[in-house]
Amino acid sequence: MKKTIRTTWKGDWLLEFSVAFTVLGAVTREPVLASVGVILALTVSVLGVRFRATVTQMRSRLQVQALLSKHQFPLYETVYGGLLVRNKADTVARVMRITASVDKDLRFDIQGPGAGSIQPGKEMEVVFRLTPLATGRLQISQFQLTLTDARGLFTAQLPYHEPVTLETYLGLIQPLTPLSLYAGGSSTSQKIATGVDYAGIREYAPGDEDHRVEWKATARLRKLMVKEFHPETETGLQILVDTGKTMRQQAYVGTRLDEALAVAELLAQAGTNMEQTVNIYLYNETQLVSKITADQQGKIPTLTAPTKTPAKNTSAGGFRTQPLTTLGSILPDAGRLSAYLRLLGRIIGRGHRRTGVYKAVTAATGDAPESTLVILTDLETNVDALIATAQIHSERGLRFILAQIGAGWRLNPQLNTAYPAYQRNLHNHKALQRFGLTTLDVRPELLVDAIVNELSPTPTIKTHDLAT
């Protein structure tokens, strides 16, 4: 362990005064001044030798132990720890400052006390605070104590290799309830329209929604009146939920699948409250897993993640796409060409018909041909099959709304890797929009409102911008 003895500003002043008095005494031939300069220089030297001996003793007799309340905690959460410094020497240890060598993505702050005197046989506990700025394994490699003497003339730095390793992750790992993450969605979801044909007004009856109240007629007739619409019995809301392998990854709260099921539940409740037929289809990479139908009273079965493991499938539809994706390194602007070639290959080979998203869309359109389809997916698998499926069914006037769940770039705290992921994700959204899909990639707390806005007859807010 290395030790470095340095003078403080007080020690530097004393040395400068000693030199000044010595030179002044030699010039003026005053022995008193020269003697004062020599005495100051000798005093500083003797004190420095004593302090060096003290530091040598402290090197083996001063013990440091780091204590941390927990070693795993979420990103940006502040955790407190303690540093126990024991003095087993026969002299006083005067700690001037405590620092730590930490990873660049870990913020370290001393809360107190960061300095003080430790009597022989005693100990001092220092409280420090850690704040992780990135996910993964982070470490405090060593602590460094800066010691000083009784007069504050010298300092010495003693490093102590007491590594502390901690792990950080995104969000709390806990079950997701709809209102815990999408609190605003349950209220705004009442805006889903039940019909576009206005039938007239009638007197209020128990069970009518508040947004149907006709205030002008109520004021004129002096009794509560509500608007009446012709119900659209042929339309409905079909919600498709991706349950593939990538949907099991960690999201803001729980997994991506937990968030998708929460959104599906809120949309289903809103749709059934507005007298719409609502079906929920769960699918994976290769098959339609199950179908859930909401009743007319707004009640739906509890949504849970399916336990069926999807079959191994390296690419949607069983076709290899790797040779085509490598064209980007050979031909200029080959990314678009590669996408169209993959799409053409799937249409010709009908490979997209073997994917789960195609089977789910086919089932949904067969049950309610005039419905609006809301697809909840992380947009990491079956993208080509989704484009081909939407292109085929869009010719029948079917409307698709694709809401992305847990976009990877939003969960990445590292800007240098998050931005390229954002660009790739934006490219996928633009490709889907060219084939007639409405795509949404917004923050989780805004997702339900964004979907409801798109489901309304006259959307007022453009929410498909990835930068929202």
For Cα atoms 325, 248, 452, give the angle at the middle one, nearest 5 degrees: 90
Separation CA 280–CA 294 (nearest Å)? 8
CATH number for the domain formed by residue range(s) 61-169: 2.60.40.10
SS3 394: helix
Tens of pLDDT, residues 433-444: 877 778 888 877
The model carries a pTM of: 0.48
CATH number for the domain formed by residue range(s) 178-195+234-455: 3.40.50
Average pLDDT over residues 53-81: 84
pLDDT of residue 47: 92
Q: What is the dihedral of CA 48, 52, 57, 60, to 10 degrees?
A: 140
Contact 252, 171 (CB under 8 A): yes
Confirm whether 61-169 and 178-195+234-455 share one CATH topology. no
pLDDT band at 275 (very low <50, low <70, confident <90, very high): low
Q: Bridge-partner residues for 140, per DSSP?
A: 102, 164
Tens of pLDDT, residues 333-371: 555 555 555 555 544 445 667 788 888 888 887 766 667
Q: What are the residues whose beta carbons fall under 8 Å from the beta carbon of 206, sequence distance 6 or more?
A: none
pLDDT of 77 higher than 70: yes
pLDDT of residue 176: 44
pLDDT of 324 higher than 50: no
| Closest residue by Cα to residue 160 from 147, 150, 173 | 147
pLDDT band at 415 (very low <50, low <70, confident <90, very high): low
Pairing of strands 123-132, 197-203: unpaired
Tens of pLDDT, residues 13-32: 999 989 999 998 888 888 88
CA 279 to chain centroid, in Å, comes to 31
pLDDT band at 149 (very low <50, low <70, confident <90, very high): very high
pLDDT of residue 43: 92
* Number of Cβ within a 10 Å radius of residue 373: 23
pLDDT of residue 49: 92
Separation CA 342–CA 211 (nearest Å)? 47
pLDDT of residue 461: 43
pLDDT top residue among 431 and 170: 431
Token representation of residue 358? 């195609």
Token representation of residue 342? 């993959």
pLDDT of residue 285: 85
Long-range contacts of 13-18, Cβ-Cβ distance < 8 Å, separation of 24 or more: 14/40, 14/43, 14/44, 14/153, 15/40, 15/41, 15/44, 18/44
Q: How far is CA 55 from CA 44, 101, 122, 258, 395, in A?
A: 16, 21, 17, 58, 83
For Cα atoms 201, 207, 211, give the angle at the middle one, nearest 5 degrees: 55
Q: How many CA atoms lie within 13 A of 400 on its CB side?
A: 32
Separation CA 258–CA 183 (nearest Å)? 15
pLDDT of residue 147: 92
104-136 core/surface letters (b: 16 or more CB in 10 A; e: else): ebbebebeeebbeebeeeeebebebebebeebe
Tens of pLDDT, residues 327-339: 334 444 555 555 5
Separation CA 143–CA 123 (nearest Å)? 16
Average pLDDT over residues 397-416: 77
Average pLDDT over residues 238-250: 87
pLDDT top residue among 195 and 422: 422
pLDDT band at 190 (very low <50, low <70, confident <90, very high): very low
pLDDT top residue among 421 and 233: 421
Q: What are the residues whose beta carbons fall under 8 Å from the beta carbon of 105, sequence distance 6 or more?
A: 132, 133, 134, 136, 138
Burial class (CB in 10 A: 0-12, 13-18, 19+), 405: buried
What is the pLDDT of the chain when averaged over all its residues? 75
Q: What are the residues whose beta carbons fall under 8 Å from the beta carbon of 333, sequence distance 6 or more?
A: none
Tens of pLDDT, residues 286-304: 888 888 876 554 455 555 5
* Number of Cβ within a 10 Å radius of residue 70: 11
pLDDT band at 233 (very low <50, low <70, confident <90, very high): very low
First to last CA, the chain: 53
| Domain boundary assignment for the chain | 4-59, 61-169, 178-195+234-455, 197-230
pLDDT of 46 higher than 90: yes
Contact 271, 191 (CB under 8 A): no
| Closest residue by Cα to residue 86 from 109, 63, 57, 119 | 63
Average pLDDT over residues 164-177: 61
